[in-house]
Amino acid sequence: MARTTITDVAREAGVSATTVSLVLNGRNAERFPEATRRRVHDAAAALGYAPNVLARGLRTQRTHTVGLISDRITTTPYAVAMVEAAQDVAREHGRLLFLVGTDGDPAVEADAVRALLAQQVDGIVYAAMWHRPVAPAAPLPAGTVYLDCFPEAGGGPAVVPDDRAGAVAAIRLLVAAGHRRIAYVDIGEDPAPLASGLRHTGYLDVLREAGVTPDPALHVRSATATAADAADAVDGLLALPADRRPTALFCFNDRIAAGAYASARHHGLVIPEDLSVVGYDDQQLIATELDPPLTTVALPHYAMGRWATEVLLGVTPPPDAADGVLRMPCPLVERGSVSPPRAP
Amino acid sequence: MARTTITDVAREAGVSATTVSLVLNGRNAERFPEATRRRVHDAAAALGYAPNVLARGLRTQRTHTVGLISDRITTTPYAVAMVEAAQDVAREHGRLLFLVGTDGDPAVEADAVRALLAQQVDGIVYAAMWHRPVAPAAPLPAGTVYLDCFPEAGGGPAVVPDDRAGAVAAIRLLVAAGHRRIAYVDIGEDPAPLASGLRHTGYLDVLREAGVTPDPALHVRSATATAADAADAVDGLLALPADRRPTALFCFNDRIAAGAYASARHHGLVIPEDLSVVGYDDQQLIATELDPPLTTVALPHYAMGRWATEVLLGVTPPPDAADGVLRMPCPLVERGSVSPPRAP
DNA sequence: TCGGTTTAGTCAAACGGTTTACCGCTCGGC
DNA sequence: GCCGAGCGGTAAACCGTTTGACTAAACCGA
């Protein structure tokens, strides 16, 4: 199992290690006659030579590896697309990806950063599993790109979903369908996730732009993101008399939308005829499986993961926004849960 | 940004690089007096010294990195727990994890293996996202551990879920509750996944052991794993007259179980009173969100991921089964979708 | 014939650690 | 006074590759 080294190839080809290195890396390759180049290539192929990238990295100070560090890797199906995108971009550019999860523990995170630096990674993507400000536990090298989060202290290229714009698109869809009484079924977690406020802002903006005075009673909160809690939160709204009951629900996420479906069923309301519903996140297992399939706003995890890694590798320019934060659009995915309200 | 080297530390501490290396690695550390050791440690701390693991790996031939290679990393929430487990074990043992996905492309896979070997990884975990035999596209080094798959050619430590035993547990639960007419709602994909046959075998074994003659009419197939197709497949069963209708359904997976819920609702049957349902996979977003919550069999992804990585690192002994394959138990997760059948 | 240029390479020094072998000194025992 | 053993530590080789400096031989024009 002794791996073959450049010296073995040199011996086999009857040249020096320098020549092998030069030829194989195509540096000044034209300095060598075709015959020599062939001999080197043939010898390398025959011996199955693959350069030891440790030795190379030691010499060149570039390892062609990148690190992806994140709080929870993948405990939810949520953000795996970000990891996948990072891995895809890395592969496309001949890089290898170190994956490390910190489980939200600052000590672990600090260790992870040290370990990655000791590995001489060419760069680090610092990812969060949900859109929020972060305060890294250990100093990150210059050039670190923030994914689905941004440094509390400001600066640094970063990419997050444009939650406000996503809500705007969702509410505009409902308004265009003719809805006026639109409820926002928010999440009641404390502290409120950043996305909660941003989506609320977008909701309010569109209502005002449509000349609708927002009714605070139509802003309800589900204690958690479980369908059961969400159903409880929605029950109150759907129990209202028909002329005060909302005709459409904008849900903080798809799980809450699933709860809304349950509540609607319980109240004998048919979606979308009696009640239109829009979700957020576009979680495959929920949005496509609900009946009718859920119209929702997709979080652009894959696109964000790609962008972050491409910026890290320098193949995409960093954002020119003053704060260095790119807000990635959240596409509206229209399925079957929105229709015009019933004529009164 | 010039990283501090062992030489810097040596100069600061007034000793040679050799001494620093020996002291910091605790090798023969007792040969040096306490005072010297302190000086070295203090200097290292003051300078924030972290050894360059490339240089170390070059010399020691061990990199403390492992590679995890898999067909689809994470396209489904499915197997992310395997990745997470591998990452956890790696971290616990001071290793760093390379993650590479091949998207099922043999050329990409061969490249990935070469890249990992060039990185001098200490070992490789070869993972599949669903239980099946595999034929690696490039020769894998000795010691490679197979995760959720096993080499077609045989051999090699490998771990897969014990699908037969999982089905046995599920059907025993139903039989113990008093069910006799139990249907198996299989998946109709071609070729059939290995798990499909294994679970069927377990299903048949328990029926026979309970003295029930399996009724082939109760083995139906859903064209795909979507809830809609599953509902179609189940509709035929539930339309049967009450005395021939199954009182319980064993579903190939949770998505199919979700379809069964829809069909049951459509036929006015209440789960579990009129119809007991057991799923497979224990997908969080489905099993816990259904109403009532779904009793199901969990795939031990996390446990398998841990085991594979621990075997790779040599902290867990390889299986002594002749074929080198460990069949990991699939725990039965009892929720609310099973009850005794209605008295006839 | 001779100096200069091109051709076709090679040498040796890094890169930053680990490891083997050895060294100078002191001290105790005989 | 000599030997051997500990003590405290270092020098140098080595891991595999890249790279800047260098060179022997061939060629070439004057």
CA distance B150 to B133: 5
Residue among B52, B286, B291 whose CB faces A285 most closely: B286
Residue B63 has pLDDT above 60, yes or no: yes
CA distance A120 to B5: 13
Question: What's the number of CA atoms in the CB half-sphere (13 Å) around residue A277?
Answer: 34
Taking a C-beta distance cutoff of 8 angstroms, is the pair A320, A326 a contact? Answer: no
Whether B65-160+302-328 shares its CATH topology with B163-299 is answered yes
CA distance A43 to A305: 40
Q: Which of residues 234-263 of A touch B (CB under 8 A)?
A: 255, 258, 262
Q: Taking all atoms of strand D, which protein residues have CB closer than 7 Å? A: A 3, 5-7, 17-18, 21-22, 24-25, 27, 49, 51-52, 55-56, 58-60; B 15-19, 22, 31-33, 36, 55, 58-59, 61
Q: Which residue in chain A is spatially nearest to B263 when comparing CA positions? A: A291
The CATH number of domain B65-160+302-328, selected from 2.60.40.1760, 3.40.50.300, 3.10.20.520, 3.40.50.2300? 3.40.50.2300
CA distance B111 to B129: 19
Residues 6+ apart with CB under 8 A from A305: A81, A82, A83, A84, A85, A86, A89, A127, A147
Q: Which residue in chain B is spatially nearest to A65 when comparing CA positions? A: B98
Which residue's structure tokens are 């990674």? A121
Q: Helix or strand or coil: residue B228?
A: helix
Q: What is the fold, at CATH topology level, of the domain defined by A65-161+302-328?
A: Rossmann fold (3.40.50)
Sheet holding A182-187, edge to edge: A219-222, A182-187, A248-251, A276-281, A295-298, A332-333
Q: Helix or strand or coil: residue B92?
A: helix
**Would you say domain A6-51 falls under CATH 2.40.50?**
no
Under the banding of pLDDT at 50, 70 and 90, the label for residue A77 is: low
CA distance A68 to A309: 9
Give, as ranges, the nucleotides of chain D with any atom within 7 Å of a protein CB. 7-12, 14-21
Whole-prediction pTM value?
A: 0.93
What would the CATH number be for the domain defined by A163-299? 3.40.50.2300
Under the banding of pLDDT at 50, 70 and 90, the label for residue A335 is: very high
Of all nucleotides, the one whose C1′ comes closest to residue B120's CA is D16
Taking a C-beta distance cutoff of 8 angstroms, is the pair B295, B334 a contact? Answer: yes
Question: Taking CB atoms and an 8 Å cutoff, what residues of chain A touch B71?
Answer: none
Of all nucleotides, the one whose C1′ comes closest to residue A14's CA is C9
CA distance A145 to A126: 6
Residue B206 has pLDDT above 50, yes or no: yes
Q: Do A80 and B100 touch (CB under 8 A)?
A: no
Beta bridge partners of B150: B133
Q: What value does the mean pLDDT take over residues B328-333?
A: 98
Residue B1 pLDDT: 46
Question: Taking CB atoms and an 8 Å cutoff, what residues of chain A touch B1?
Answer: 141-142
Tens digit of each residue's pLDDT (9 = 90 or more) over B113-142: 999 999 999 999 999 999 999 999 999 999
State how far the alpha carbon of A257 is from the alpha carbons of A21, A120, A179, in Å.
60, 45, 18
Q: Do A289 and B288 touch (CB under 8 A)?
A: no
- Phi then psi for B37, rounded to 5 degrees? -60, -45
Q: Helix or strand or coil: residue A41?
A: helix
Q: What angle (nearest 5°) sits at the alpha carbon of residue A286, between those of residues A328 and A288? A: 85
**Higher pLDDT residue, B28 or B235?**
B235
Q: What angle (nearest 5°) sits at the alpha carbon of residue A333, between those of residues A329 and A339? A: 130
Question: Taking CB atoms and an 8 Å cutoff, what residues of chain B touch A112?
Answer: 91
Minimal CA separation from A3 to chain B, in Å = 10
Mean pLDDT score of chain A: 94
Q: Where are the domains of chain B?
A: 6-51, 65-160+302-328, 163-299
Question: Taking CB atoms and an 8 Å cutoff, what residues of chain B touch A118?
Answer: 50-53
Which among B240, B286, B231 has a CA at the least distance from the CA of B264? B231
Residue A61 pLDDT: 94
Residue A253 has pLDDT above 80, yes or no: yes
Question: Taking CB atoms and an 8 Å cutoff, what residues of chain B touch A226?
Answer: 288-289
Residue B74 has pLDDT above 70, yes or no: no
Q: What angle (nearest 5°) sits at the alpha carbon of residue B343, between those of residues B340 and B344? A: 130
Supply B49's token pair: 């010294």
Q: Helix or strand or coil: residue B109?
A: helix
CA distance B7 to A45: 39
Give, as ranges, the nucleotides of chain C with any atom within 7 Å of a protein CB. 7-12, 14-21
Residue among A81, A115, A288 whose CB faces B96 most closely: A115
Interface A-B: count of C-beta contacts within 8 A: 138
Residue B282 has pLDDT above 70, yes or no: yes
Q: Do A87 and B100 touch (CB under 8 A)?
A: yes
Tens digit of each residue's pLDDT (9 = 90 or more) over B131-178: 999 999 999 999 999 999 999 998 889 999 999 999 999 999 999 999
**Which residues 15-44 of chain B have a CB under 7 Å from nucleic chain C?**
17-18, 21-22, 24-25, 27
Under the banding of pLDDT at 50, 70 and 90, the label for residue B75 is: low
CA distance A295 to A137: 39
Question: Taking CB atoms and an 8 Å cutoff, what residues of chain A touch B53?
Answer: 118-120
Under the banding of pLDDT at 50, 70 and 90, the label for residue A1 is: very low
Residue A141 pLDDT: 94
Q: Do B98 and A101 touch (CB under 8 A)?
A: no
Find the range with the poorest average confidence among A78-82, A261-265, B22-26.
Answer: A78-82
B3 touches strand C (CB under 7 A): yes
Where does B193-247 show beta strands of DSSP type E?
Answer: 219-222
